[in-house]
Amino acid sequence: MSSGPTLKGLAAIIGISPTAVSMALNGRPGVSDELRARVRAIAAEQGYRPNFAARALRVERSNMLGLISRNLSNPGYLRLIDGFSGAAEERGYQVLVGTSDLDQARETNMIRAMTNRQLDGLAIAPIDAKAVLATWQDESDRPLVLVNSARSARSSGAMSIRGNASQAVRSAVDHLLELGHSRIALLTNPGLSSASERVSLFRRMMKAQGLTSRVISGGTADETVERVVRALSGDDRPTAVMTDSDLLAHYVYEAAIETGLRIPHDLSVVGHDDLPTSRLLGPALTTIALDRFEIGRQAATMLIGALNGDEIDRPHRELPVELKVRQSTAPPAG
């Protein structure tokens, strides 16, 4: 009975390189979704079976995975690191952690520094997913997982995992509308493709209600507080602010103190992350709960599965989020 073609034989049948066949079969970035589907269909038709023993001998392993966060000053990323490191270490991998500090040049340098360590795979919360993918493909042929990236990154060929952004925006907006708010602002971190996606979702929801969408762009801590203070100082100020993170929500609390506004009597606030500290704020923060520990855990298992040649179940994952209603939201005064 025939055992099917070899990897090189399969490549010859399809008319592409063995490297491209390997990337398509193993879920690695660098090939289109269309080519990946075609390769897998022809492989099944030809009865191709990977030789895992030969692959293990051929591919050198460092038993090290990389994880790059956007900003370690956001405690939410510490939970992600915990989940990622725990899942990796259970399977015999060490983890190298870095941060881009929301600086794209630093992000590129960090990726290159990690590839010099011969990483077996990388998970990254990207500033710009397309730029990250291009840099990684130039430096490595190992698997990549994009964490908390924009939905558009699904076409990149890399795996991805994130919270459900549409559910998050909808839950926050619906909650504030149900309370009677019509002047709602979104405080976001500009420059992130994932942030621009949430802005688009927010604008569409407000437009559907016939309401004006107000977007405040954050920056450094001091800049963000200053911009929120300005937004809250006008006669037609927002009566509610929703944010991209609990960290940004903390800055709204600071701005409210500076402008003499009381939360939630004069201003309602909704965060995103459900950090352990957020329920300790005065008043406790209403927020979107996102399980970053589970995101980290699944990102690690996806990378290791791809390295082992496994068929990755759902290579693009969106985990559910939940609105936690606490004391920072109330009907608008008057």
Return the domain boundaries, the chain: 7-53, 60-162+292-319, 165-291
Integer Cα distance of 307 and 293 in angstroms: 22
Long-range CB pairs of 172-178 (<8 Å, 24+ gap) are 172/242, 172/270, 172/272, 172/288, 172/323, 173/202, 173/205, 173/206, 173/242, 175/270, 175/286, 175/323, 175/325, 175/329, 176/240, 176/242, 176/268, 176/270, 176/329, 177/209
pLDDT of residue 43: 85
pLDDT at site 152: 67
So what's the pLDDT on residue 211? 96
**Fold adopted by 60-162+292-319:** Rossmann fold (3.40.50)
Mean pLDDT of the chain: 87
pLDDT tens digits for 176-214? Answer: 999 999 999 999 987 676 788 899 999 999 999 999 999
Fold: same for 60-162+292-319 and 165-291: yes
| pLDDT attached to residue 74 | 75
- Which parts of 140-265 fold into alpha helices (H)? 165-179, 193-208, 221-232, 246-259
Class of domain 165-291: alpha beta
Assigned architecture for domain 7-53: Orthogonal Bundle (1.10)
Show the low-confidence residues of the chain (pLDDT under 50). Answer: 1-2, 52-58
| pLDDT score, position 27 | 61
Return the pLDDT at 33. Answer: 82
Q: What is the pTM of this model?
A: 0.76
H-run or E-run covering 124: strand 121-124
pLDDT in tens, 20-70: 887 777 666 667 888 888 888 888 888 876 554 444 434 567 789 999 998
Residue 304 has a pLDDT of: 92
User: What confidence score (pLDDT) does residue 156 get?
Assistant: 60
**DSSP, res 190:** T
Task: Give the pLDDT of residue 134.
Answer: 82
Between helix 33-46 and helix 7-14 the angle, nearest 10°, is 120
Share of the chain above pLDDT 90, in %: 48
